[in-house]
Amino acid sequence: MLRRIRAREWPPGAAIPNEADLAVEFGCARATVNRALRDLAAAGVLERRRRAGTRVAAAPAGRAQLEIPVLHRDVEESGAAYGYRLISRATEPPPLPLALRLGLDPARPLLHLCSLHLADDAPHVFEDRWINPAAVPEILSVDLERVSANEWLVENTPFSAGDMRISAEAAEAEVARYLGAAAGAALLVVERSTRRDAAVITHVRQFFAPGHRIDLALSTG
């Protein structure tokens, strides 16, 4: 498939045949085709879109890899000491807009955690997280005063799909207070939700302390 893409037999933007047809054509198992398609998508050669199917990616100008941050690891790699503080823990229904966006029953309670990640005792990230105990029942027996949900979920809960959104927001009073920032300060906000098959695992909004930057190396082609 890569040879065909490179030779422009399948040009940028072209829809590629479905898995079943490719398996017949290449004389291999459909699971093999599926794995190859996933690898090509992970490498950015193919784009898998919900409605448009799998297409050859438009020749990109350059790209960067962005990984789900394990804050513990990031802070320590920067040379600072990592700290973590659970601010609140509740079992409650999510706000209606969030429930609708995630496709969850708004009446069903989720685990709601607010926490603070620290670097050298200074606030680094304020985290507002919802966890679906129906998808991750084990979370209810984790000591979340000691281990952050960020770390526990990354290590223990494989996901099959997810999305990430990066934005800038003016700090609301409560978030500003925890981050030691002025209300209205410009904050980098990273929002993620992950799913295993159809089940929502978690939805999180991470508010980074003012001045935080995400640094990435660009690669070509």
Chain residues that interact with its own copies, rule: CB under 8 A: 38-39, 41-44, 48, 58, 60-70, 73, 154, 158-170, 184-189, 192, 194, 208, 210-221
Q: Which is nearer to its own copies, 110 or 154 (CB)?
A: 154
Q: Minimal distance in Å, beta carbon 134 to its own copies?
A: 21
Coil, strand or helix at 106: coil
Q: What is the DSSP letter of 17?
A: P
Task: Give the three-class secondary structure for 102.
Answer: helix
- Name the residue nearer to its own copies (CB basis): 104 or 189: 189
201/86 Cα distance (integer angstroms): 19
Residue 57 carries which side chain, given as an amino acid letter?
A: A
Shortest approach of its own copies to residue 108 CB, angstroms?
Answer: 24
For the CB of residue 92, give the shortest distance to its own copies in the complex, in Å: 26
Cβ at position 81, least distance to its own copies in Å: 20
Q: Which residues contact 108 (CB under 8 A, 6 or more apart)?
A: 93, 134
Shorter beta-carbon distance to its own copies: residue 3 or 213: 213
Query: Taking Cα atoms as reference points, which of 30, 44, 148 lies closest to residue 86?
Result: 148
